[in-house]
Amino acid sequence: MTASLTLVILMAVLFGAGISVMLERSLTRVLIGFLLVGNAVNILIYLMSGAPGLAPILGEGVDEGEISDPLPQAFVLTAIVINLGITAFMLALIYRSWWLAKLGAKGDLVDDEAELAEDAEETADLIRSSAADDEAIQSLIEASDEEFDPLDEELEREASTRDTDDEGARR
Amino acid sequence: MTAVLVPLVVLLPLLGAATALILGRHRRAQMAVGIAVLAAVTVIAAVLLVAVDTTGPAVVYLGAWDAPWGITLVVDRLSAIMLVISAVMLLVVLVYSVGQGVADQHRETPVSIFHPSYLILSAGVFNAFIAGDLFNLYVGFEILLAASYVLLTLGGTGERIRSGVTYIITSLVSSLFFLSAIALIYGATGTANIAQLSVRLAELPQDVQLILHLLLLMAFGIKAAVFPLSFWLPDSYPTAPAPVTAVFAGLLTKVGVYAIIRTETVLFVESDVSTLLLVIGGLTMLIGILGALTQADIKRLLSFTLVSHIGYMIFGIGLSSVIGLTATIYYVVHHITVQTALFLTTGLIERFGGATSITRLAGLLKASPLLAVLFFIPAMNLGGIPPFSGFLGKAGLFLAGAQGTAADAPSGPDWLIWVVIAAGAATSLITLYALTRFWNMAFWRGREELEGYESVLLGSVLEAPEGATVTATRTTPVLMVVATASLVAVTVCLTVFAGPLFDLAGRAAEGLSDPSVYVSIVFPEGVR
């Protein structure tokens, strides 16, 4: 079986890059990694069709031995469609998890329930001021990775009291 | 005649899903569509089982493209058995979830997308069972996985998103493994038709076969939650709504087990990894059940027993004998129904008691004797108490193991088989212990003992990471109880009709014992 060396190298690079990105913590990077590896697998399937040939349409004067193998192309098309669907779902999931991380369950009140207008307004304020919280959230995330640090613990306590306040407000 | 029915088991749920999506605003119509479709599929599956058992396997060449060019659908006895039991289970769980949905208009379970996703999940499961083509099997897996992502993160609460992410990423990785395996197998043999692969893979060099074999097993192993690849399951299943957890626990892992059976019996006949399977089966049993021991939450406890009992099936497959496969097929059927029944009962306990942890539940026996019976029967069944089907399945597996040691060509060293049998017996006892402890704490002990109760038994038990925050409701919808009770009745029937069922499983295993049987189904005139 003959195969294009360029495609083999491209596949290897996509596999390597994809797997290393996939091992990161952030969900978005996992998605990017999945896309890269998914495309690497697609190229792998395509490579398995062997040497390229004529379009796989049998007609008069077309030699069966000279056409390319159409089946892997059908596989790749199916796999691309599946990947597209999964990617759309993953993006929704990432957006949702970002939303929850930023605002907690409270974020749901923003436009869903008009009768809780007061709450919604408060949440809207929270969104506006959430930029200031970014730093705090970031340091919390880092703190969970790193060693114990008393300052972080304070931050954490602050965050947890804020959470309980939120819950109280909801009730 | 029967061939016409085969594509319907996939088509009907897909059409039903589309209809249910269009009817998004009419909940009653959605429910009617879902139940009607699954009831129809149950009937079709039963007809197929009878037809396949009496007149031989059914094959459909889609679009009249002959194999190996077109997509082939094959229903032999194993496929038919799996179709029937999964259709029955899906129908019962749907009735249960309808009962639950009617009872509470909960924001966390938006029903309008539940029914379409559920039907698509069913279509994917059925498609995987009748696929006669490796790529079609992959598509079946993807259909059911995509639907399962939606069902697991239903409502999008923080907890479900967190556990859903683990599940989704693990599944994505396993799909990538599967797809790569298909690509390499196609590259090595030039076909994806399972029957043709059975012939062509056997002609490859041993080392190439082994690599392809292990790659495929790894993909299926993640789906079936076999020991080193099972870490994701207990974290992701328990947070979903009760009916969803019941379906996932009962069915999705078994689709992986089904794929492993096909891999071992049809695809890779010349490449023997049965010793590896025996070792993995034993480890899955023991490590899974040891995890269950330390759980206070019944949902997490059941998730760990689920992992552990997959080990029995892998053990049966690893024996690679007709009697081993017979016992495995019976065990799969038993486990689908019992595990689902237990998760449905857990849903009832959650509603009734307001919690699922033994540190917060007490006095349920007095409060609801019916619930106690509904939990007790499948719990004892799973623990392997005679005369229930759990005992019969395990006894069958141990018998097959003992006969395997006496066989001329044992599938592994004698001592290994005896060790795994011992591990299986121990696992059965520990399962019984874990479930009895839950029974004693939640049902038997009085309500007044709940406060300030200390026990050495509880010393090793960890509280669930997220405590359940369900409010107890005194009214349990009749439909939910009826659905659970009927599934418990099915588990009892597995005992009552164990003889005919074992015969049927035996005939199914007979058909798997020789791969040329499967090949001659698809290619009556032979193939190369």
- For chain A, the DSSP string reads ----HHHHHHHHHHHHHHHHHHTSSSHHHHHHHHHHHHHHHHHHHHHTT-S--B-S---TT--GGGB--HHHHHHHHHHHHHHHHHHHHHHHHHHHHHHHHHHGGGGGHHHH-GGGHHHHHHHHHHHHHHHHHHHHHHHHHHHHHS---HHHHHHHHHHHHHHHHHHHHH-
pLDDT score, position B467: 47
Handedness of CA B485, B491, B493, B495 (dihedral sign): negative
Fold of A5-56+63-103: Helix Hairpins (1.10.287)
Proportion of chain B above pLDDT 70, given as a percent: 92
pLDDT score, position B147: 93
Listed by start position, the domains of chain A span 5-56+63-103, 113-170
pLDDT score, position A135: 64
What's the CA angle centered on B341, arms B364 and B256, to 5 degrees?
A: 140
Query: What span, in angstroms and rounded, lies between the C-alpha atoms of A93 and B462?
Result: 30
Of A34, A44, A100, the CB nearest to B158: A100
pLDDT score, position B65: 82
Of A1, A86, A105, the CB nearest to B172: A86
Query: What span, in angstroms and rounded, lies between the C-alpha atoms of B145 and A102?
Result: 28
* Element housing B21 (H / E): helix B2-22
Q: Is B144 on the interface with A (CB under 8 A)?
A: no
Is A170 a residue whose pLDDT tops 50?
Answer: no
Q: Identify the top-confidence range among B225-239, B326-340, B377-391.
A: B326-340
pLDDT score, position B243: 86
Task: Kindly indicate the confidence band of residue A39, based on its pLDDT and cuts at 50, 70 and 90.
Answer: very high
Task: Kindly indicate the confidence band of residue A8, based on its pLDDT and cuts at 50, 70 and 90.
Answer: very high
Chain B: closest CA distance from residue A44 (Å): 7
Give residues with Cβ within 8 angstroms of B223, minimum separation 6.
B141, B171, B174, B252, B253, B255, B256, B259
Token couple for B63: 């679009």
Q: Measuring CA to CA, which residue among B165, B317, B187 is closest to residue B256?
A: B317
**CB–CB contact B157 A105 (8 Å):** yes
pLDDT score, position B360: 76
Query: What span, in angstroms and rounded, lies between the C-alpha atoms of B456 and B395?
Result: 32
Give residues with Cβ within 8 angstroms of B96, minimum separation 6.
B242, B243, B246, B344, B347, B479, B480, B483, B484
Q: Bigger pLDDT: A40 or A1? A: A40
Peptide bond into B68 cis (omega under 30): yes
How far apart, in Å, are the Cα atoms of B275 and each of A24, B83, B361? 36, 30, 43
Query: What span, in angstroms and rounded, lies between the C-alpha atoms of B432 and B376?
Result: 11
Q: Measuring CA to CA, which residue among B386, B352, B389, B351 is closest to residue B487?
A: B389
Listed by start position, the domains of chain B span 272-459
Q: Is A32 on the interface with B (CB under 8 A)?
A: no
Q: Scan for tokens 């309980």, then name that residue.
A: A164
Q: Which residues of B touch A19 (CB under 8 A)?
A: none
**CB–CB contact A48 B186 (8 Å):** yes
Strand, helix or coil at B61? strand
**CB–CB contact B161 A97 (8 Å):** yes
pLDDT score, position A160: 56
**CB–CB contact B158 A104 (8 Å):** yes
Of B146, B153, B190, the CB nearest to A85: B146
Of A47, A89, A96, the CB nearest to B149: A89
Kindly provide the ipTM of the predicted complex, given to two decimals: 0.85
Note whether B303 and B376 are within 8 A (CB).
no
Q: Bigger pLDDT: B424 or B108? A: B424
pLDDT score, position A120: 60
Of B135, B146, B161, the CB nearest to A100: B161
Q: Compute the average pLDDT of residues A151-158.
A: 54
Q: Is A103 on the interface with B (CB under 8 A)?
A: no
How far apart, in Å, are the Cα atoms of B407 and each of A91, B319, B402? 54, 11, 9
Amino acid, res. A7 = L
Q: Measuring CA to CA, which residue among B464, B431, B432 is closest to residue B360?
A: B464
Token couple for B493: 């029937």
Task: Please give the residue of chain B at the shortest CA–CA distance from A1.
Answer: B187
**CB–CB contact B176 A41 (8 Å):** yes
Q: Which of B163-167, B228-232, B247-251, B361-365 has the lowest mean pLDDT?
A: B361-365
Q: Measuring CA to CA, which residue among A71, A67, A69 is closest to residue A54?
A: A67
pLDDT score, position A69: 84
Give residues with Cβ within 8 angstroms of B50, minimum separation 6.
none
- pLDDT per position as a tens digit, B77-114: 999 999 999 999 999 999 988 888 755 555 445 567 88
Is B124 a residue whose pLDDT tops 90?
Answer: yes
**CB–CB contact A90 B146 (8 Å):** no
Radius of gyration of chain A (CA): 25
Q: Is A58 on the interface with B (CB under 8 A)?
A: no
